[in-house]
Amino acid sequence: MFVKDVMVQNQVGLHARPATFFIQKANEFKSSIWIEKEERRVNAKSLLGILSLGIVGGTSIRIIADGSDEQQAVDALVELVDSSFSN
Whole-number pLDDT of residue 87:
57
The residue from 15, 49, 67, 78 that is catalytic is 15
Tell me: pLDDT of 10 over 70: yes
52 phi and psi angles, rounded to 5 deg: -65, -20
5: enclosing H helix or E strand: strand 2-7
Indicate whether 54 belongs to any domain. Answer: yes
- Mean pLDDT for all residues in the chain: 95
**CATH code, domain carrying 69:** 3.30.1340.10
* DSSP string across 28-71: TSSSEEEEEETTEEEETT-HHHHHHT---TT-EEEEEEESTTHH
Structural domain including 68 reads: 2-82
- Reply yes or no on whether 15 is catalytic: yes
pTM above 0.85, yes or no: yes
Domain assignment present for 66: yes
Question: In what helix (H) or strand (E) does residue 2 lie, and over which residues does it extend?
Answer: strand 2-7
CB 26, CB 49: distance < 8 Å: no
Mean pLDDT of the region 31-38 = 98
